[in-house]
Amino acid sequence: MKKVYANATEALDGLLSDGMLIAAGGFGLCGIPELLLNAIKDSGVKDLTFASNNAGVDDFGIGILLQTRQVKKMISSYVGENAEFMRQYLSGELELEFNPQGTLAERMRAAGCGIPGFYTKTGVGTVIADGKEHKDFGGETYILEEGIFADLSIVKAWKADETGNLVFRKTARNFNPPAAMCGKVCVVEVEEIVPTGSLDPDSIHLPGIYVHRLIQGAHEKRIEQRTVRQREDA
Amino acid sequence: MKKVYANATEALDGLLSDGMLIAAGGFGLCGIPELLLNAIKDSGVKDLTFASNNAGVDDFGIGILLQTRQVKKMISSYVGENAEFMRQYLSGELELEFNPQGTLAERMRAAGCGIPGFYTKTGVGTVIADGKEHKDFGGETYILEEGIFADLSIVKAWKADETGNLVFRKTARNFNPPAAMCGKVCVVEVEEIVPTGSLDPDSIHLPGIYVHRLIQGAHEKRIEQRTVRQREDA
Amino acid sequence: MPWDRNQMAARAANELEDGMYVNLGIGIPTLVANYVGDKDITLQSENGMLGMGPFPYEGEEDPDLINAGKQTITELRRTAYFDSAQSFGMIRGGKIAAAILGAMEVAENGDLANWMIPGKLVKGMGGAMDLVAGVGRVIVVMDHTNKHGDSKLLKECTLPLTGKGVVDMIITNLGVLDVVEGGLRIVELADGVSEDELRAATEATIV
Amino acid sequence: MPWDRNQMAARAANELEDGMYVNLGIGIPTLVANYVGDKDITLQSENGMLGMGPFPYEGEEDPDLINAGKQTITELRRTAYFDSAQSFGMIRGGKIAAAILGAMEVAENGDLANWMIPGKLVKGMGGAMDLVAGVGRVIVVMDHTNKHGDSKLLKECTLPLTGKGVVDMIITNLGVLDVVEGGLRIVELADGVSEDELRAATEATIV
């Protein structure tokens, strides 16, 4: 079973269709599947719904699909860095479903784990709870949140072996594992594919069972806010 | 904040009380908190409820607490290896709540993640579903399972740093992370405490935030079923 | 002549396809691993491992490396370890393509009983309920009749269920049957077993 | 003289105890890290990190290492990384001892509004709703009044809530107040601020 594909376009071949729900990993511009997003843009597929914590910036990440009007709806927790997003949203061209960040992550993880619904205190008494089932446990009120079952997962990892075992790097892990779990099919881009057997079996962040297709490529890895401190001179 | 204690007795000091609910890691005899179980035995605390996948064997693991009649109830998925367990259960001395193994693991993880209830297909149409809320999602029926909020977690890891960051080894990881998450207080025994900074931050299986007290000690690590294959001679 | 344990296991292995992630139960299902040939099959052990290898050589047993039957095993180059919540997350979430399990009884509607005999010793369901509820395809491998000669393929299960309507295929010493609308459908007969023999040994409706 | 940003941050740092795991919001709360002294405090960044270090030296920025404000940061010797589901699992599960956050409005019953102004640009709640629902203690650090001079400590919030009854303590430029039964209780006044001044700037009931 060969999981390794030559490039993003080939890895997505046959998987894209108008109106589909895509779960994407990444937080801000950190750990986003930039190669796959570019290929989705080139494919011209449209009316997409994205479950993704953020919407990228105007010219990077999911933002590039907003420029081309390929996105119908976002399920996100924070979209503050994207001017085109705001324009389309305020003009009614784009739907937006806000999810608290932890609820979004757990909804992805839940779907991947065969859990269609779970209760959380997050958002009780806020607009997030409107229309959702409320239930008491131990005298406290919780709301029911449902799993996000995506048609496709797109994910960025640091390294993979040929069987799709994945390793992430630092905070670029973020939403990638839960996003990978919740799709019917999961396509992953990595910086390096290493021979099977060269990753430590105790240190694999996401086993290959979650990974259907895999590509290796060069990543821009753009920094959104470059903050530094001054060196104290000796 | 010092988490490292001299031994199991000191690490449990002030934490034990009759009738408490303890979540224990381990699968079979693999990865069980053997030092802490011995100290619990010596403490004489009684009427304990254990959430633990198994009940050990007669003279190792939770089995030693059955010998001394310190256990009132087990929440487990499989108790087949323990003759004394069977005797006490069949004579009505011991309560038993069977949980499917995955439901047990998820109930622990859920409680640790602030999720008091979740829906699962596991057990629908069986005795496990009796008396539980049923709910349809997407035309399929699921049952509600509740989080296990334990008073105390006892866990065995391979290595820890001084801040309690944990690393497990091979299949000895098993129930230890979910068990660690679900207790009000979590006490951990490891084979080796290493200096903080010597574990790879990308390869920590359970961050120290879950770990309140920590001991290092020698482990018997008994093998339950020694199965081998023959070497083919050259 | 009916199939023996190894022939049943070999027949079950035929159902596995290249690239599948599979969970094998205790007993005959364990033997299936010997018959996958050059198909790329990854075995899951539900205590927290993908890529389960064979038993270790004597002297190389590792107490930290066991399978769901608590037996010492080995790892492979592809192996990944994870905790029990993650392990059953992938089972419940349908990531495992197939489970091959033993059974006490299977009903014609796919009901499965394989964990408990009331009044006898009660050991527990372990991971069986999660597996049959979650995996893509459930294949039962068992003898066609019990030691009293009674059919284990029933109209309705008499024992407490492990799962309702969960079995897809049954492989016995007498042949192979699919669970379909209305009952069981014969897919294949064991060498030298006639359809009449199989029907005579089957209480469940054969369509 | 009312406290400045740094004095408010220093006062908030006083609330932190040795051994605590803490989440700091954007703005003044970020400054709290400068005032923990020799207390052993571990900072969580909800995008998947415990043990957040300071900003990197120029030239050492790592695109794979950012905080929840998307700023480049560094790791410490105690650092552990994990995914977003795990991160919010520990937040929701009450493992984080305290969150220090900014706010637009706080009500006398502990209601908090800090994520949305209807009709204006809507950016989203990010992790704020999870934090206030889950962490052990929620400390708000903010100016006592808005730029129009109106109190931000209200009888009832006018903006959409981030959480209901979630705030435990409010630290403003005028002083420190606890949320208690029946309203707010003055804990401390900023240097040179009189109780009358603080009361005059507060719409919420002071008990």
Tens digit of pLDDT for each residue in B148-188? 999 999 999 999 999 999 999 999 999 999 999 999 999 99
Give the amino acid at B149: F
**What residues of chain D score a pLDDT lower than 50?**
none
How buried is residue A130: exposed, middle or buried, by Cβ count under 10 Å (0-12/13-18/19+)?
A: exposed
Nearest CA in chain C to B53: C126
Residue-wise pLDDT tens for chain C (207 aa)? 899 999 999 999 999 999 999 999 988 999 999 999 999 999 999 999 999 999 999 999 999 999 999 999 999 999 999 999 999 999 999 999 999 999 999 999 999 999 998 877 679 999 999 999 999 999 999 999 999 999 999 999 999 999 999 999 999 999 999 999 999 999 999 999 999 999 999 999 999
Contacts of C164 in chain B (CB under 8 A): 124-126
Distance from B201 to chain A by nearest Cα, in Å?
8
Between CA B102 and CA B113, with CA B108 as vertex, the angle to 5 degrees is 120
Give the bridge partners for D178, in sequence order. Answer: D169, D185
Which candidate in D46, D60, D188, D197 is catalytic?
Answer: D46
pTM of the shown model: 0.98
Indicate yes or no: CB of D85 within 8 angstroms of CB of A224.
Answer: no
D and C make contact (3+ CB pairs below 8 Å)? no
| Separation of alpha carbons B57 and A42, rounded Å | 61
Place of tokens 């990531």: C95
Residues 15-34 in A contacting D (C-alpha not used; CB under 8 Å): 27-31
Q: Counting one residue from A and one from B, how many pairs have CB atoms under 8 Å apart? A: 60
| Separation of alpha carbons B100 and C84, rounded Å | 12
Please report the domains of chain A, with CATH numbers, ordered by start residue.
Answer: 8-116+147-216 (3.40.1080.10)
Give the amino acid at B113: C
Indicate yes or no: CB of A208 within 8 angstroms of CB of C79.
Answer: no
Model confidence at B233, in pLDDT bands (50, 70, 90)?
A: low
3-state secondary structure of B154: strand
Nearest CA in chain B to C50: B171
Residue A1: predicted pLDDT: 66
Q: Are strands D169-171 and C153-154 parallel, antiparallel or unpaired?
A: unpaired
Residue-wise pLDDT tens for chain A (234 aa)? 699 999 999 999 999 999 999 999 999 999 999 999 999 999 999 999 999 999 999 999 999 999 999 999 999 999 988 888 888 998 999 999 999 999 999 999 999 999 999 999 999 999 999 999 999 999 999 999 999 999 999 999 999 999 999 999 999 999 999 999 999 999 999 999 999 999 999 999 999 999 999 999 999 999 999 999 988 765
Going through chain C in order, the beta strands assigned E by DSSP cover 21-24, 42-45, 49-52, 75-81, 98-101, 105-107, 112-113, 137-141, 153-154, 169-171, 175-180, 183-189
Residue C128: predicted pLDDT: 97
Residue B133: predicted pLDDT: 98
Whether C75 and chain A come into contact, CB under 8 Å, resolves to yes
Closest residue to C121, CB basis, from B86, B96, B229: B86
| Separation of alpha carbons A180 and A5, rounded Å | 17
- DSSP labels for D26-49? SSHHHHGGGG-TTS--EEEETTTE
Of residues B14, B33, B51, B17, the one with CA closest to residue B149: B51
| Separation of alpha carbons B61 and B47, rounded Å | 17
Please name the residues in contact with A39: beta carbons below 8 A apart, sequence gap of 6 or more.
A7, A8, A9, A11, A12
Going through chain D in order, the beta strands assigned E by DSSP cover 21-24, 42-45, 49-52, 75-81, 98-101, 105-107, 112-113, 137-141, 153-154, 169-171, 175-180, 183-189
Q: What are phi and psi of B225, to 5 degrees?
A: -135, 105
Q: Kindly report, residue by residue over B66-81, the tens digit of the pLDDT.
A: 999 999 999 999 998 8
Closest residue to A170, CB basis, from D58, D62, D130: D62
Whether C108 and chain B come into contact, CB under 8 Å, resolves to no
Indicate yes or no: CB of A115 within 8 angstroms of CB of B120.
Answer: yes
By percentage, how much of chain B surpasses pLDDT 70?
Answer: 99
Whether A163 and chain D come into contact, CB under 8 Å, resolves to no
Residue A233: predicted pLDDT: 62
CA C110: distance to chain centroid?
Answer: 13
Residue D1: predicted pLDDT: 81
Indicate yes or no: CB of D18 within 8 angstroms of CB of B1.
Answer: yes
Model confidence at B86, in pLDDT bands (50, 70, 90)?
A: confident
Q: Kindly report, residue by residue over C67-122, the tens digit of the pLDDT.
A: 999 999 999 999 999 999 999 999 999 999 999 999 999 999 999 999 998 877 67
How many of the other CB atoms lie within 10 Å of CB of B137? Answer: 15
| Separation of alpha carbons C54 and B172, rounded Å | 18
ipTM surpasses 0.90:
yes
Task: Note whether D132 and A96 are within 8 A (CB).
Answer: no
Task: Note whether C108 and C205 are within 8 A (CB).
Answer: yes
- pLDDT of B232 > 80? The answer is no
Indicate yes or no: CB of C92 within 8 angstroms of CB of A204.
Answer: no
How many of the other CB atoms lie within 10 Å of CB of A210? Answer: 24
Q: Are strands D169-171 and D175-180 parallel, antiparallel or unpaired?
A: antiparallel
B and A make contact (3+ CB pairs below 8 Å)? yes
Place of tokens 């001991």: B215
- pLDDT of B94 > 70? The answer is yes
Contacts of B207 in chain D (CB under 8 A): 50, 80, 82, 90
Residues 22-61 in A contacting B (C-alpha not used; CB under 8 Å): none
Of residues D153, D101, D106, D151, the one with CA closest to residue D128: D101
| Separation of alpha carbons B178 and B102, rounded Å | 11
